[in-house]
Amino acid sequence: PDDPTTAWVFRGIVALIVVNVVAAILLTDDRFRHAFPYDFRMIEVISLVVFGGEYLLRLWSCVESPRLRGRNPLQARLSWAMSPAAIVDLAALLPFAIMHLYPTDIRALALVRLLRFFKLARYSPGLASLLEAVRAERHALLACFVVMCGGIVIFATAMYELEGPAQPDKFGSIPLAMWWAVVTITTVGYGDVVPLSGAGRIVAGLTMIAGIFLLALPVGIVASSFIEVIRRRHFMVTWG
């Protein structure tokens, strides 16, 4: 990444991925698809050439990488092709094949095209840092998740008992009440399911205040962990 040419090639690939993701998003909207059918095909052809070329170059040059040096070339290339990064790169070539096999299935095509988003993680040290931060505190985050699930189950059960008889379509079973509980504990609060009785509102108020305390846990843990990781790495660009 010291070489300015390499940096420009990187930026070009990142830009092409972003263009692809934006195109895949707009593709699902009928007005955009009918307005620019030709351009979407052009992007697909350019992507096939660039991502295909990148894949072949990486497959050819992977024998030079320090991790694989010393093995025989075929074995090294097979070992690289099985790595998660190489599979993400290969998946980025899928949409072209799909487009020719099922040319009209827009829904499947959108999904496959968005797989290219994960390709961005290879060029984005921020995403890699996030994964590292999450990995470092995975036990604490799992405990948070258990505590949050516990809170959701307990408050959902309380509301099922209190509001269930009065609003059977909204609190008539614990799974239904859990929808209300997760919307409330995360402070999203759509307002599609709301308690009406006095007792239900008191329990809902406690749920909201508990939500604040339950939110504090992952916020504190992720934030402190991520800050530490970004301080340590200084966002160096990682080599694939």
Contact 225, 137 (CB under 8 A): yes
Q: Which stretch binds a second copy (CB under 8 A): 25-33, 38-46, 50-58, 67-75?
A: 25-33
215 binds a second copy (CB under 8 A): yes
x/- letters, 115..144, toward a second copy (CB under 8 A):
--x--x---xxxx-xx---x----xxxxxx
Count Cβ atoms below 10 Å from residue 214 Cβ, excluding itself. 19
The residue type found at 212 is I
The residues in 147-166 that bind a second copy, with binding defined as CB under 8 A, are: 147-148, 150, 153-154, 157, 160-161, 164
By CB under 8 A, what part of segment 87-116 binds a second copy? Answer: 107, 110-111, 114
Chain positions 47 to 76 lying near a second copy, rule: CB under 8 A, are none
DSSP 221-232: HHHHHHHHHHHH
Extract the runs of DSSP E, i.e. beta strands, from the chain: none
Interface of this chain with a second copy, residues 173 to 212, rule: CB under 8 A: 173-176, 178-179, 182-184, 186-192, 194, 198, 201, 205, 208-209, 211-212
Nearer to a second copy, 12 or 220 (CB): 220
Q: How many residues bind a second copy (CB under 8 A)?
A: 76
Binding mask 1-20 for a second copy (x = CB under 8 A): --------------------
- DSSP per-residue letters across 113-157: HHTHHHHHHHH-HHHHHHHHHHHHTHHHHHHHHHHHHHHHHHHHH
Burial class of 42 by CB neighbour count within 10 A (0 to 12, 13 to 18, 19+): exposed
Q: What CA–CA distance (Å, rounded) separates 129 from 107? A: 32
